[in-house]
Amino acid sequence: MTVYAASYDLENVDLCIPGAAKLVEIHRKHEMPATFFCVASVVEKRGEELKAIFGDDPLIDVQSHTYYHRMLRDHLVHGPGIPVEELWVEVGKAADYIGEVFGTRPIGMRSGCGFEHGMKGEPERLKVIAACGMEYISTQLRGPYETIPSPFVDAYTYEADGFPEVWEFPTAGWHDNVLKGYGAHPTMFPGIYPFALPAGPVTNAREDFEAAKPWVDYAMEQGKAYVGLCYHPWSLYTLDPECGTIDLMLAYAKSIGMEGVSYTELYRRTKG
């Protein structure tokens, strides 16, 4: 049975606070867990407020979205990757700092932006990522030629690059900020699935949910292990200060019998 893996990339220093507060409230209402992948340099500025919002709640899982949101490898759209040695900051120092603030050191990381092939073919970089204590990463977030949306790809390990203990959990679908028209990114034409390309940017929570729903349905129909969409507190909040997209989405996932899991729980179940 497909599970709904909820995650939010927390990266906006101003809107992360009202956005996260609303999202946590919605997840509590539906009793569904969520992972917040947090940018450490944002936690530096808003850590105390975020701690108060997340509380000591088993529904809320805090992991890393790197230190400064820099490119972990070369990106066709966003430019060159940082030097390998900088990964000790972007991955390692980020986990150290987030662990210090929230009390549990992350074992998972969502990269900034994401890549068509995740970290495949980058053994030197994976070596640092593994040495920094990352047991799972979520870096395959894009379609062909780094386009958005991203196709469904099952979780895999980096065994082919020499790291069988490091897992990858790709996301599927749109990056919600792009779906909302907050920033231009290349998309694939024709769409990777019949439902992949909506007529235009979504303008309210109902449309936002309706555009994401086919991805959830497709995962269910195809018997995928999980559906993990790419959401940001800042863009959900900008579209609708109630973050109504997620209220609709969690209610829908439950209504079709999907269990909700955090990414960390998804990782634990997948590795067995």
Question: For Zn ion, which is the closer residue by CB, 2 or 12?
Answer: 12
Token couple for 37: 């992948």
Give the x/- contact pattern for Zn ion in 204-243, rule: CB under 5 A: ----------------------------------------
Question: For Zn ion, which is the closer residue by CB, 26 or 113?
Answer: 113
Candidates 9, 61, 96, 168: give the one binding Zn ion (CB under 5 A).
Answer: 9
Candidates 11, 61, 96, 122: give the one binding Zn ion (CB under 5 A).
Answer: 11
Token couple for 203: 């303008």
Task: Say what angle helices 94-102 and 40-54 make with each other, to 10 degrees.
Answer: 20
Question: For Zn ion, which is the closer residue by CB, 9 or 208?
Answer: 9
Tokens 């969690």, residue located: 250
Token couple for 8: 């939010």
Q: How far is the CB of 9 from Zn ion (least distance, A)?
A: 4
How is residue 126 annotated by DSSP? H
Question: For Zn ion, which is the closer residue by CB, 112 or 228?
Answer: 112
CB neighbour class for 189 (10 Å; exposed up to 12, middle 13-18, buried from 19): exposed
Q: Are 220 and 10 spatial neighbours (Cβ–Cβ below 8 Å)?
A: no
Q: How far is the CB of 159 from Zn ion (least distance, A)?
A: 27
90 binds Zn ion (CB under 5 A): no
Maximal CA-CA distance, the chain:
47
Question: For Zn ion, which is the closer residue by CB, 71 or 266?
Answer: 71
Q: What is the torsion angle, in degrees rounded to the nearest 10, for the CA atoms of residue 192, residue 250, residue 12 and residue 151?
A: -10
Q: How far is the CB of 110 from Zn ion (least distance, A)?
A: 7
Query: What's the start-to-end Cα distance of the chain, in Å?
Result: 16
Q: Judged by CB under 5 A, which stretch of 107-115, 121-129, 219-227, 261-269 contacts Zn ion?
A: 107-115
* Contact residues for Zn ion, defined by CB under 5 A: 9, 11, 112
